[in-house]
């Protein structure tokens, strides 16, 4: 039986944070998403414009996944954010983990200004909501390393035909991260268990979809 | 061995909600807070100014608890809110479950305008935070039925000497409640497991404190 | 003709701010609130627990105002906040301008835990709203120097019979203050003109009320 | 002397609103932006996907403006939002004023997924901030009629070479709009005077820039 190869990525910690929920979710996913029809490849990406770009390209060439889902942290979001748009733009408010802080530079010079996610974002949000998981469609993944990874996944898919389906999920803080913030402005958070459930729901929804022979395109 | 008697209350659902996290937390607490030195009494209160007041008085007279903790829902809060002040005021924005909507009326005519919680709210928030649970001290429990219950617990304690320690905890929405809200304004939420853990941490902190012979007073 | 004496106070800048909208509003009020039936006394208070307390007492003894309105800044509020409750509590998150940072201390030991404003806060908010000025009733003026001034005005009124009417108005940032904040979290603001209009509306509403011979009491 | 022709558009009211700040700002701009080197053309657009698209195309063909600035309302924003990205996407949460509610449809089938604004958005935000006007760069203009107008302006510019410079400014509520909202969730607002000043600052900054011979491109 043929198996669907899925790449799922998280990020290292960055800025003042000592943990990154996307890393923990990805590590916990290995082993917990056991399905005969799925081959899971996971990776933790550096929060570095240059190295994350290289890593994504290497991972895609090496594993040729049919589906790619990247996860990242969106400080302050109260719920799961399913990203709809990746921009060909790097514009950092704070330096990345290499100390690099690009301003208004394209990720891939000459490539399209933006790509739309090749997963059905609105149906996925509806599915998450039905499962009792707070979620929204988001129209901006920012202009930091999260957006770069999302853009690279889609650029590769639109250019080479794989991954056929690529998406980006922004996660809230974990409760233990929110607990460490200034007491007068505690941000929203979400439990690790619910994050893992959310990511599984998304992956299973995308896997179950009929993607045979589809070209990356607008949903 | 003498046991500390603790009253813990939650609320029925109200307004458009079909569940109330405070009710579920209280029901789950029974059995899960098993300590030889604690006798737990629980109750689910009606979201009714008149009937909640009667219930609290009856519960206090009947059980004479040393400690009383009331729980309620604070729509929109991103974290556990440990309330510091109960006001002698009823001022409802929406009718209660009996259709009653008091405006600017005292709860107990002639009684003090406000009481401070008789649990150490700042130490409790510090303890919750250390345990990785997002929490803040709140200076207002509102002017709805939550505040009424909090006021009645303190008024009774200051008047009759028991409960020696009384507090009020406001809980966020559960994720499944937040998931049902308008997609353009999903509110923050917290998992049931973390809420239960939070309430246990609070109760165990209050129980462990030396309250022997203390009169209700400022922390 | 007898004139109503009104004390209106603002505050110096504090924390990282170089201006305080409450100071500017008070300075602009002098001269612009010209009515034959009103005698306006204004003062700018230090953001110091000790010195603000002394100043308020001195001002009240010296001028014996019938009405007192104190103004302060509430960072982050999107609208005029008409305060309903003053607490007998000092609990500072940041030091005051004297470097003093009280924790959980009463303002007036032995005095009531709280006073309710002696101006009709809900009617005032309705009036402001009718005039097109965004406003809410607030149930907490915090536990910093703003609350201390509010408490002292009410404590004096309840103790000595004047000011018969006392209230506290929290103002948003001015636009030029908000413009200086972090670009990823610009707070709400309000124009100076609208703030001045709001304070005039409040004062004229309170002056026009029949307060003759009234004792300070719940609205 | 040759004059720079500038098209500035606002919108009619929509949804539950009886006024739209963008319309009022545009009407007030006529006459107040008097410069010998500028020829101002203004228009109020319908909040209709179909009719707004037609109007924009007609206005551009008829007036061939060198610069086009569109204004719209962003409910809930606390400051001026200078939009950076227009998406080739219509996805309405509420019907437009014609009762039409497109879902996930492209504005211009076959055209690019997104365009970047052809005004220097970051420099403009810096300029606004220096003038004491709270402002941010925004990475999403939504997927409603505002975004459609922004996309059409850029699509025309990138296709036909004019307008050379096009941008979109999202405005907060006016205070009188915010005052009518639910008292428990008053949104931020901005005075009409400050909005007008902001729009003038933006237009003058764009006019003063050396745009001779420039092709629409990334800033």
The sheet carrying A67-73 orders its strands as A38-45, A4-11, A67-73, A165-171, A80-83, A135-138
Contacts of C83 in chain B (CB under 8 A): none
How many other C-beta atoms can be found within 10 angstroms of the C-beta atom of residue D24? 18
How many other C-beta atoms can be found within 10 angstroms of the C-beta atom of residue B108? 13
Residue A93 forms contact with D (CB below 8 Å): no
D100 CA: distance to closest CA in chain C (Å): 32
Residue A146 annotated as catalytic: yes
In 3D, which of B48, B46, B45, B53 has the Cα closest to residue B111? B53
pLDDT category at D188 given cuts 50, 70, 90 is: very high
In 3D, which of B186, B192, B148 has the Cα closest to residue B9? B148
Note the pLDDT of residue B218: 42
Q: Do B116 and C113 touch (CB under 8 A)?
A: yes
For the cut 80, the answer to whether the pLDDT of residue A90 exceeds it is: yes
For the cut 60, the answer to whether the pLDDT of residue A218 exceeds it is: no
For range D1-29, the mean pLDDT: 92
Other chains touching C, judged by 3 or more CB pairs under 8 Å: A, B, D
Q: What is the pLDDT of residues A157-184, one digit of tens each?
A: 999 999 999 999 999 999 999 999 987 7
For the cut 80, the answer to whether the pLDDT of residue D42 exceeds it is: yes
Q: Do D78 and C193 touch (CB under 8 A)?
A: no
**C-beta of residue C195 within 8 angstroms of C-beta of residue C141:** no
For range D195-206, the mean pLDDT: 96
Contacts of A91 in chain C (CB under 8 A): none
**pTM summary value:** 0.94
Note the pLDDT of residue B219: 39
pLDDT category at D1 given cuts 50, 70, 90 is: low
Q: How far is CA C70 from CA A62, C47, C93, C94, C150, in A?
A: 68, 13, 21, 21, 7
For the cut 70, the answer to whether the pLDDT of residue A151 exceeds it is: yes
What distance in Å separates the CA atoms of residue D219 and residue D212, rounded to the nearest whole number? 14
For the cut 70, the answer to whether the pLDDT of residue C218 exceeds it is: no
Find the closest chain C residue to B218 by CA distance.
C104
Note the pLDDT of residue C182: 81
Q: What is the pLDDT of residues C28-59, one digit of tens each?
A: 998 777 777 889 999 999 999 999 999 999 99
Note the pLDDT of residue A215: 44
**For chain C, what is the mean pLDDT?**
93
For the cut 80, the answer to whether the pLDDT of residue A28 exceeds it is: yes
Find the closest chain D residue to B142 by CA distance.
D184
Note the pLDDT of residue B1: 57
What distance in Å separates the CA atoms of residue A134 and residue A123, rounded to the nearest whole number? 14
Poorest-pLDDT segment among B51-60, C32-41, D94-103, D164-173: C32-41
Note the pLDDT of residue C30: 82
Domain range list for chain B: 4-218
Q: What is the pLDDT of residues D123-153, one digit of tens each?
A: 999 999 999 999 999 999 999 999 999 999 9
Note the pLDDT of residue C108: 98
Residue B79 annotated as catalytic: no
**C-beta of residue D42 within 8 angstroms of C-beta of residue D30:** yes
Note the pLDDT of residue D24: 97
Residue B184 forms contact with D (CB below 8 Å): yes
**Percent of the residues in chain A that have a pLDDT greater than 90, as a whole number:** 85
A117 CA: distance to closest CA in chain C (Å): 25
Q: Tell me the average confidence (pLDDT) per consecutive run of 10 residues in chain B, 219 residues long.
A: 90 91 95 80 97 98 97 97 98 96 97 98 97 98 98 97 97 97 89 97 88 44
Packing angle, helices B145-160 and B49-63, rounded to 10: 30
Residue A94 forms contact with C (CB below 8 Å): no
Note the pLDDT of residue A182: 81
**C78 closest CB neighbour out of D129, D187, D193:** D187
Is domain A4-218 annotated with CATH 3.40.630.20? yes
pLDDT category at C213 given cuts 50, 70, 90 is: very low
Note the pLDDT of residue B33: 73
Residue A73 forms contact with B (CB below 8 Å): no
For the cut 80, the answer to whether the pLDDT of residue A39 exceeds it is: yes
Note the pLDDT of residue A21: 98
Phi and psi torsions of D142, nearest 5°: 80, -165
Contacts of A140 in chain D (CB under 8 A): 85, 139-140
Note the pLDDT of residue C210: 52
**Residues of D noted as catalytic:** 83, 146, 170
Residue C19 forms contact with B (CB below 8 Å): no
Other chains touching D, judged by 3 or more CB pairs under 8 Å: A, B, C
Beta bridge partners of A180: none
Q: Which residues, including other chains, have CB under 8 Å from residue A195's CB and lie 6 or more apart?
A: A21, A25, A80, A171, A172, A174
């Amino acid at each position: 039986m043929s198996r669907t190869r899925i790449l799922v990525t998280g990020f290292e910690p960055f800025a003042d944070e000592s943990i990154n929920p996307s890393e923990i979710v990805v590590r916990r996913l290995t082993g917990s998403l056991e399905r005969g029809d799925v081959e899971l490849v996971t990776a933790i990406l550096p929060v570095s414009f240059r190295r994350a770009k290289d890593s994504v390209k290497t991972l895609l060439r090496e594993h040729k996944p049919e589906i790619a889902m990247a996860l990242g942290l969106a400080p302050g979001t109260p719920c799961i954010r399913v990203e709809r748009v990746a921009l060909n733009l790097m514009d950092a408010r704070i330096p990345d983990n290499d100390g690099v802080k690009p301003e208004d530079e394209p990720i891939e010079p000459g490539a399209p200004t933006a790509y739309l996610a090749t997963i059905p974002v609105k149906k996925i949000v509806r599915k998450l909501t039905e499962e009792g998981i707070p979620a929204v469609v988001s129209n901006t993944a920012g202009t930091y390393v999260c957006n770069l990874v999302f853009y690279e996944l889609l650029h590769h898919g639109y250019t080479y035909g794989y991954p056929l389906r690529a998406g980006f999920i922004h996660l809230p803080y974990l409760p233990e991260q929110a607990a460490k913030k200034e007491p007068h402005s505690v941000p929203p958070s979400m439990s690790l268990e619910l994050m893992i459930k959310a990511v599984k729901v998304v992956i299973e929804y995308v896997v179950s979809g009929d993607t045979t022979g589809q070209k990356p395109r607008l949903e």
